[in-house]
């Protein structure tokens, strides 16, 4: 796979879930939809904010900007911290929906995949 194709795939993997997070979270924040489970308001705001960050990062990755990979590393780190917080809250019997944990696990996994895809490209380049 060429460098450009890897960048395009990574960009798509960043932008698509980002847009979905904005749409879904925005719909909850604006009161257009309600969920049949406990919604953590801070988590919805986080998901919408990082959705915008994901779109911006995806654009940077697609244009092969050096800052794109740095932003991706930041996003995966933030998602991992939030996933840990959700797991700890759940372990201490706080009101955390399993769907929230699974969604954050999905986001974290996707961003790990993006990082691996971007770094693998660097490893394949001859020195």
Residue range 47-91, pLDDT digits in tens: 999 999 999 999 999 999 999 999 999 999 999 999 999 999 999
For residue 64, what pLDDT is reported? 93
> Is the predicted pLDDT of residue 32 greater than 70, yes or no?
yes
DSSP 8-state secondary structure symbol assigned to residue 125:
S
Give the pLDDT score at 111.
97
Cα-based angle 89, 38, 78 (whole degrees, multiple of 5): 50
Number of domains forming the structure of the chain: 1
**Residue 36's pLDDT is what?**
87
Label residue 120 by pLDDT band (50, 70, 90): confident
Taking CA atoms, 93 is separated from 40, 42, 72, 83, 97, in Å, by 14, 18, 32, 15, 11
Distance CA 69, CA 74 (A): 9
Domain of residue 107: give its range.
3-124
Whether 127 has a pLDDT exceeding 70, the answer reads no
């Amino acid at each position: 796979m060429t460098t450009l194709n890897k960048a395009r795939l990574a960009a798509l993997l960043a932008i698509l879930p980002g847009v979905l997070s904005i749409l879904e979270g925005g719909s909850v924040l604006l009161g257009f939809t309600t969920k049949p489970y406990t919604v953590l308001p801070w988590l919805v705001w986080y998901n919408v904010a990082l959705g915008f960050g994901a779109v911006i990062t995806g654009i940077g990755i697609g244009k092969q900007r050096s800052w794109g990979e740095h932003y991706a590393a930041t996003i995966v780190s933030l998602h991992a911290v939030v996933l840990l917080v959700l797991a700890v809250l759940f372990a201490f019997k706080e009101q955390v929906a399993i769907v929230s944990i699974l969604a954050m696990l999905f986001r974290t996994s996707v961003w790990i995949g993006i990082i691996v895809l971007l770094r693998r490209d660097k490893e394949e380049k001859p020195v």
